[in-house]
Amino acid sequence: MYDQWTLSNGLRVIGERMPHIRSCTVGIWLPVGSALEDSRNNGLSHFIEHMLFKGTEKRSARIIAEEMDSVGGHLNAFTGKECTCIHAKVLDENLSMAIDILSDLVLHSLFTHEDIDKERLVILEEIAMNEDTPEDVVHEMLASAQFCQKTYGMPILGTECNITRFKRSDIQSFYNLHYCPSQTVISIAGNYSPDEFITQIDSVFGQWKNTLVPKPQIKTETLSGTKTTREKDIEQLHICLGFPGLSMQDERNTALSVFNNVVGGSVSSRLFQHIREDLGLVYSVYSYPSFYTCCGTFTIYAGASPQKANEVLTLIQNEVAAVKKNGIHPAEVNKAKAMLRNAYLLALESPTARMHASGRSILHLGYTRTHEEELHRINNISVDDIQEVTALLLSEPVVLSVLGRAVDIFN
């Protein structure tokens, strides 16, 4: 059972009580991420997320860190394609302090020129660190190719060129445009008093004013069927195959999650067992779906030596062709459903997982399902449902991205 409120300024609040534990996780969710950006402002969502921790009217960056550390709490944030979340986990007795800090970060950050210049260097190092992780780079290459370097193809960190030139006015304008209560969701899970919690939320967020700018909309992009390669002096070739997927709103996305577990989403999946366990050709091979508000993708990844890469790619393509032609055995579907169901139940033991699930759902869909409804959706998936998803997704042209040495073998 969820507690739900809406403040007079439109800010939505959702809570899930877990009275048997001693902690609370609370998050502030905003629908702002790299998919809302263009080539000129790409990276601003993530830059602002960093700047929220650099100091407010009453707290320096050091005091923010020391206050949270003094109670053994955890304060963090992340930026995605479609959202930014600032969240904290504390003991129930320290919840009031956590709310005060979170509200201070979101509502009263200073964005000083000095802090911006310092954090600019930090983000440039983060971009450099990402460049040293080829598995991340090849996924960014795939997204860029799938969405023609727009919306969901924009890198979350932004580009080195953009980060170098952003000014305080750029950051303040972007913040003023996207940070407003009617677009914000606050979610909490754990041991809390509903009356005390919503009273404090209203006291610190109730006076937050809305902007008059209409909520920006992400344009639906048609996925391309292209190939992109990039030479990089590393030991392995990193390979990604991209297929169209399903949106968050599509009722068939649970069937896609079951399908993913069969194909490459687990250590007992077809790809892992055949390519790694039986043949020993790779260390890492897996698949995963990505669900966005207006579209989705399905990705298969493998890392292999240049000598084995073509064989690995052929084996993946053969497995995809076999699934399209022969479908999936009912026993595989039942096992994958059990995996998905049990993973869902295990996640319910974590207040952080519950906070993420309800916050993201309210932010993007406007509602959240009960746990019973989610389990019912998993249990009711049939072989026919999997076949429908397979025919829909695997019929489109595949997008291929390859990173490493001797990528010309794929040209």
Q: Are residues 183 and 263 in the same domain?
A: no
For 326, other C-beta atoms within 10 Å of its C-beta total: 8
Looking at residue 240, what DSSP letter applies? E
- 240 and 326 in a single domain? The answer is yes
| Residue 37 sits in the same domain as residue 153 | yes
- Whether the predicted pLDDT of 400 surpasses 90: yes
Residues 215-237: what's their mean pLDDT? 82
With 90 as the cut, is the pLDDT of residue 202 above it? yes
Distance (Å, rounded) from C-alpha 150 to C-alpha 141?
Answer: 12
Same domain, 107 and 58: yes
- Residue 392, both tokens: 């829909």
Host domain of residue 288: 227-410
Give mean pLDDT, residues 244-260: 95
> Does residue 220 lie in a domain region?
no
pLDDT of residue 215 exceeding 90:
no
Average pLDDT for 273-280: 98
Of 144, 170, 205, which marks where a domain is finished?
205
154 Cβ neighbours under 8 A, 6+ residues apart: 34, 35, 37, 38, 42, 81, 144, 147
- Sequence-distant (6+) residues with CB within 8 A of 226 are 145, 399, 400
Return the CATH number at 107: 3.30.830.10
Parallel/antiparallel/unpaired status of strands 296-304 and 237-244: antiparallel
Do residues 268 and 396 share a domain? yes
Sheet holding 296-304, edge to edge: 227-231, 399-404, 237-244, 296-304, 284-291
Q: Which of 49, 82, 119, 140 is catalytic?
A: 49
Instruction: Looking at the structure, tell me whether residues 275 and 144 fall in a common domain.
Output: no
Same domain (yes/no): 305, 406: yes
Does residue 221 lie in a domain region?
no
* Structure confidence at residue 186 as a pLDDT band (50, 70, 90): very high
**217 found inside a domain:** no
Q: Are 223 and 398 in contact (CB under 8 A)?
A: no
Domain count, the chain: 2
410 pLDDT more than 90: no
Last residue of a domain, one of 170, 205, 240: 205
Average pLDDT over residues 353-359: 98
Residues 196 and 235 occupy one common structural domain? no
Establish if 213 belongs to a structural domain.
no
**pLDDT exceeds cutoff 90 at 281:** yes
- Residues 198, 264 share a domain: no
Q: Is 119 a catalytic residue?
A: no
Q: In this structure, are 56 and 201 located in the same domain?
A: yes
Q: Could you tell me the strand order of the sheet in which 23-30 lies?
A: 2-6, 12-17, 185-190, 23-30, 84-91, 74-79
Residue 156 lies in a domain: yes
Same domain for 322 and 237:
yes
| 305 assigned to some structural domain | yes
Type of residue at 43: G
User: What's the predicted TM-score (pTM) here?
Assistant: 0.95
Q: Same structural domain for residues 191 and 231?
A: no
Residue 214 lies in a domain: no
Asked whether residue 132 is assigned to any structural domain, the reply reads: yes
